Amino acid sequence: MRRWLRKQLDRQLGKLRQARQQRKTDSQQLLKARYHVFRALLASNNRAVDCLTEISIHLRLQGDSLGLAQLIHRLIEETAEMIARLENLASGRYRGLQVAHHAVAQRLQATLAGLTSSGNVPSVLPLAQIHSGLKDQTGNKAAALAELRKNGLPVPDGFVITLAGCRFFLEHGGLSMELVHLLATQGADKEKNVSSATAAQVKGLITGAVIPPVLAEEITEAARVFFENGKPLAVRSSSISEDGRHHSFAGQFSSVLNVCDAAQFLEAFKQVVASNFNARSLAYRLNAGLDPLRFDMAVLCLEMVEARAAGVLLTRSPQEPESGQMLISAVPGLGEAAVSGSAATDLYLVNADGQVDWTRSTIADKERLLVCEKAGGVVWQELAVEARNQPVLGEGELRSLAGWGRELEKREGMPLDLEWAVNPEGAVVILQVRPMTTMGIQTGDNREEKSSPLLQGVISSGGRASGRVLLVKSRRDFEHLPQEPVVLVMHQSFVEAANLLGQVAAVLVELGSPADHLACVAREQETPMLCGMQEASAVLSEGQWLTVDGSHGRVYKATADEIAATEKRWQNGPPQPHRMRVPLPPLHRELQELVTVLHLTDAYGPTFSILECKSLHDIVRFVHEKAVLAMFHAGDELLEENFGAVHAIDAPVPFFVSVIDMGGGLALTGPLRRRIPPEAVVSRPFQALWQGITTPGLHWGPPPGGAPMGSVMSSFLTDQKSERPIGMPNYAMVSRDYCNMNARMDFHFIMIDAVASLEPRSNHIKFRFKGGGTSLERRRRRALCIGEIFEQHGFFVDVKEDLVNASLQGASREAIEEKLVMVGRILGFTRLLDAAMGTDAMIPAVARAFMEGNYALVGLTDNEETAQVAG
C-alpha cells in the first residue's frame, strides 16, 4: 500500500513538473514569438518607407498612373500588415487603428478611381499617336520628340514600346520576381555602389528571358515597316524618370544603333530594358534617393540617321550661363562618340546673335569616327589625315543649329540640352531634347562653382538655397525658430522637424537616409535636404552662412551676392514659392494628403494619437513608435514564467541582470548553468551596454560620504523587502544584433531598446527614464541633466517632469555600439543622482562632469547636502 501511494505521489509530482516545464516552454516561445513579430514589423516599416519614397517621386513627376496606383495598393497592404503585427505585440491595445486605416484606404480607392487608367494602353504606339497625356507610358524622351515632330520640327519617324509593353515582358514567366529577389538580397554596399557581378546577373536574367510571343509579334510588326523600306532603327531608352526636371539619367541607359532586322531588333529591345538595371543606373538611383527596384522605362525606336556629323547643343554655355552664348560639341559620324566621350570633340561657342566665336572655340585633333555597318551595328573607322584638324561643322550649319536651339529654348522656357545630327544632305535632325538640369528642382542656372565644397552628402531633396546654420540638438531648438533663412544641421533625421520645412532654407543631416520620413516630407515641401553629412555639426559653426546645393549633394560657403539675395527674399519671412513651387493637380494633391503628408511629427505630444492618423504615412509612423513601446512593456508575468530559461550574469558590479536569449544572443559551452559570465552573451548591443555598465569609476554602492539626512536612498539600498531593489531581476532580451533591457533600480525605471545591425536604416536606440525616490524638484533636475547628456551625444531628447525619452536612429552599427557604451554608463551614474541635485545650477555642472569622466562628482559642490554626496 505504501509503495502504491508513493508511486501515485511520484506520478502526480511528475505531472506537476511536466506542466510547470510546459508552461515555461510555452512562455519562452511566446516571448520569442513577440520578438520575431517585432523584427518583422521593423522590416515592414522599412518597406513602407521605401514605398512612400517612390510614391512621392511618382506624385511629383505626375506620370505612370498605373504604377502609382500599384504602389499605393502595395502600401495599403503593407500598413495593414504592420497594424496586425502591432496588435499582436500590444495585445489589442490599438484596435482603433484599423478603423483609421480603413477610412484612409476607402478614400484612396475612390481617388485612385479618378486617375486615368492606363490598363488598356497598347504595347506599341507610333510617334504620331503620342500626346502629353500618354507621357506616363511613353517616357519623357519619346513624348518630347513626338511633340516636336507634330509641330513640324526635324525629328526622325518612329514608335515606342510602352511602359505597359515593357512591364508585360518583365512580368512574363516570373522574371520580375527573380529580379526583385536578386536585387533585394545582393543590393548595394554602404557607398551605394552595385557590384558588377550583381549587375551582370541581372542583365543575364533579362537578356536570356523569352519575350512573350504576342508581344514579340506586335513589336516586330511595328519595326518591319521600317526594315522593308531599307531604314534601320536606333533603339533607345525613354524612361519616365529620364530627361525630366528632376532626374536626367544622362548616359545611364543603353542605346543600340543601326538595327537592321527582326532578330537584331528583339535582342536590342532586351538590351535596352536590361540597362534599366545596370550598375551605373542602380548606383545613380540609390544616390538620387530613388528605389533601385523601380521600373519605369519605355523603349523608343527611331529611324536611324546615318550622320555626316553629330553632337550635343547646350543652349546656355555652362562656363558663362549669363552670356547668352551656346555651346555646341560635334564629332564626325555618329553622335554616340560625342555623347559617350569616347572620341575627340570640336567645341564651338555661338553668340546670341548667331555669330560663331571662333577665337574661343576649340577644333580637336580627331583620329576616328563611328559609322554604320551594312549588316547592322556600328564600327570605328580611321579619319582621313587631311580632315583630322578641320572643323566638323561650317558656319552655316552652326548658325542653323543655334537657330533651332533658340527656338526650342523659347518654346520650352528653360535652358535645354539637345542631341542632333546632320544627315548626308546637310539637314539638321533633332534626336533628343531635355532640360539642362540633372537632378532635383530646376534651379534656373548651371553655374560653375568657384570654390570647393565644404561638405558633400547624399541627395534627399533637390534645389538650391542659402541660409545661416542652426545646430539642432533637441526639441527646444525647434521652439523659437529665427525669422531668417536657416539651414537646420542635425545629427539625425528628427521627424519633429517636418512641420518646420516650409520655414527653413535647407536641411543637413549627419545620419539619415533619402528614404526616411523627413526626406519624404522635404521632397513634398521642395526643401533642399542632404543626409550622410558625416561630421557636419563639428565642421560648421552656429550662424555661419551656407549655400546648400541639394541637386548635386554639396554645401558651399555662401557668397556675398547669395547672402544679399537671400536676405532680400526673406525680409518678410519665408518666401511663398518655397512651398510647393509646382502645384499638383487636384487628384495628385488628394493622393499626397492621404499617403505621404505627415501629421504625427511629435512622438511625445498629445496629438500623437490614432485620431490624428489621417494618412498612410501617419500610420507607418504611429505603428513604429508604438511597437518599440510594446517591447518596453514585455510583461513581468512572461518573465516570471521564463526564469527557468534565463541566465543570470556574474557581474563585477552590483548590477544584477537576467538574460533571455531570443536566438543567437548567447554562446554557451559546457554543462547548462543558470549563472554565466558576461562574455557568454554575444549580443553586440548588450556587450556595448555592458562595457559602459562596468566602466571604472562608476559608483554602484552607497555614496562615499553617506546619503543626505532624510533621504530615502539609504534605507532603500538596504531594504530587501522592496519590490525590486538593485540586484533583483533587471532583465535583457537579446539576439545577435538586438537588446531590450528593462532596469528597475531603486525608485526609478530605465528601459532601453536597441538594434545594431549591418543595415543603418534599421538601427536605433530608444531610451526611457522615469521616476526617483526624492522630491519632484530633484527628480526634474535629474531628468534635465540626463537629457542634456543625451543631447551632447546626438540623441533627440524629450523631457517632461521626471520622464526622459531619448532616441537615435539611422546610425551605423559601430556608431550605435559607441552610443550604447555611454548609455550603459548612464545606468550607474544616475542611480543616486537626484541626491546631488540641490539647485538648478547643478544640472549643467553634473552633465559636464559626466562628459569629463568624473562619475563620482569629485570636487563638485553646490550646498552642504551636495557636498556630502560628492564626498
Distance between CA 551 and CA 191 in Å, rounded?
Answer: 18
Please report which confidence band the pLDDT of residue 341 belongs to, taking 50, 70 and 90 as the band edges: low
* Residue 430: closest CA among 441, 440, 418: 418
Pinpoint the alpha helices (H) of 543-610: 560-569, 586-595
Query: How far is 23 from 19, CA to CA, in rounded Å?
Result: 6
633 falls within a domain = yes
Interatomic CA distance for residues 93 and 83, integer angstroms: 11
Burial class (CB within 10 angstroms; exposed 0-12, middle 13-18, buried 19+) of 395? middle
**What is the tens place of the pLDDT at every residue in 210-251?**
999 999 999 999 999 999 999 999 999 887 755 444 333 334
Q: How far apart are CA 243 and CA 141, in angstroms?
A: 6
How is residue 326 written as a grid cell? 551656346
d(CA 648, CA 677): 8
Strand pairing report for 368-372 and 346-350:
unpaired
Q: Report which listed range, 30-44, 443-457, 536-550, 572-586, is most confident.
A: 536-550
Task: Name the domain boundary from 580, 611, 633.
Answer: 580
Statement to judge: residues 792 and 698 lie in one domain: yes
User: How is the beta sheet containing 326-332 ordered, strand by strand?
Assistant: 346-350, 326-332, 309-314, 416-422, 428-435
Residue 273 lies in a domain: yes
Residue 179 lies in a domain: yes
Is 600 in a helix, a strand, or coil? coil
Q: What confidence tier does 576 reach under pLDDT thresholds 50, 70, 90? A: low
Indicate whether 506 and 606 sit together in one domain: no
Coarse DSSP helix, strand, coil percentages of the chain, rounded to the nearest 5 percent: 45, 20, 35
pLDDT, position 21: 59
Structural domain contains residue 45: yes
- What is the rounded distance in angstroms from the CA atom of residue 726 to the CA atom of residue 540? 43
> What CATH number is attached to the domain comprising 499?
3.50.30.10
Q: What is the dihedral sign for C-alpha 480, 484, 488, 494?
A: positive
Instruction: For 457-473, give one letter per residue: b (16+ CB within 10 A) or e.
Output: bbbbbbbbbbbbbbbbb
The DSSP letter of residue 693 is H
3-state secondary structure of 240: coil
601's grid cell = 511629427
> What whole-number distance in Å separates Cα of residue 200 and Cα of residue 790?
46
- State how far the Cα of 756 lies from the Cα of 527, in Å rounded to an integer: 31
∠ CA 495-500-503, rounded to 5°: 155
What is the pLDDT, as a whole number, of residue 862?
57
Contact 525, 430 (CB under 8 A): no
Identify the residue whose cell numbers are 526636371.
Answer: 245
pLDDT, one tens digit per residue, over 162-206 is 988 888 888 777 776 677 667 655 554 444 455 677 778 888 989
Regarding whether 666 and 748 lie in a shared domain, the answer is yes
What does the pLDDT read at residue 583? Answer: 57
- Report the pLDDT value the prediction gives residue 184, as an integer from 0 to 100: 56
- Does 754 lie in the same domain as 781? yes
Provide the β-strand partners of residue 768: 751, 805
Last residue of a domain, one of 257, 274, 303: 303
109 and 134 in a single domain? The answer is no
Residue 290 shares a structural domain with residue 334: no
Q: Give the separation between CA 82 and CA 589, rounded to whole angstroms.
A: 25
Confidence of residue 581 (pLDDT cuts 50, 70, 90): very low
Query: Of all residues in the chain, what percent carry a pLDDT higher than 70?
Result: 78
Give the torsion through C-alpha atoms of 247, 248, 252, 254, to 10 deg: 130
Residue 729, judged by CB atoms within 10 A of its CB (0-12, 13-18, 19+), counts as: middle
Q: What CATH number is attached to the domain comprising 430?
A: 3.30.470.20
Q: Is residue 14 part of a domain?
A: no
Task: Quote the domain boundaries for residue 777.
Answer: 653-870
161 with 200, same domain: the answer is yes
Residue 325's pLDDT band, with cuts at 50, 70 and 90, is: confident
Backbone φ and ψ of 158, nearest 5°: 175, -165
Residue 725: band (very low, low, confident or very high) from pLDDT cuts 50, 70, 90: very low
675 and 820 in a single domain? The answer is: yes
Question: Alpha-carbon dihedral of residues 67, 72, 77, 81, nearest 10 degrees?
Answer: 130
Render pLDDT for 451-508 as a digit per residue (tens, 0 to 9). 788 998 877 788 889 999 999 877 778 777 888 899 999 888 777 787 788 789 999 9
Instruction: Provide the H-helix boundaries in 453-575.
Output: 476-479, 517-525, 536-539, 560-569
Model confidence at 622: pLDDT above 80: yes
| Whole-angstrom distance, CA of residue 831 vs CA of residue 821 | 17
Ranking 66-75, 131-140, 284-293 by mean pLDDT, the lowest is 284-293
Q: Give dist(CA 65, CA 553) in Å, integer.
A: 30
CA distance 321 to 682: 59
Q: Same structural domain for residues 640 and 657? A: no
The DSSP secondary structure of 51-105, one letter per residue, reads: HHHHHHHHHHHT--HHHHHHHHHHHHHHHHHHHHHHHHHHTTTTTHHHHHHHHHH
Number of structural domains (the chain) is 5
Domain shared by 837 and 823, yes or no: yes
Q: Does residue 7 form part of some domain?
A: no
In whole angstroms, give the CA distance from residue 512 to residue 599.
20
347 membership: H or E segment, kind and range: strand 346-350
User: Which pLDDT score, from 0 to 100, does residue 848 have?
Assistant: 92
CATH of the domain at 140: 3.30.1490.20
In a domain, 747, yes or no: yes
Burial-class residue 298 by CB neighbours within 10 Å (0-12, 13-18, 19+).
buried
pLDDT at 450: 61
In a domain, 23, yes or no: no
Dihedral angle sign, alpha carbons of residues 337, 340, 344, 350: positive
Question: 279, 303, 327 — which closes off a domain?
Answer: 303
Q: How far is CA 1 from CA 6, 10, 14, 117, in A?
A: 9, 14, 20, 86
Sign of CA dihedral 654, 659, 665, 669: positive
Residues 735, 864, single domain; the answer is yes
Write down the pLDDT at residue 155: 93
Whether residues 207 and 177 fall in one domain? yes
* Bridge pairing between strands 730-735 and 738-745: antiparallel
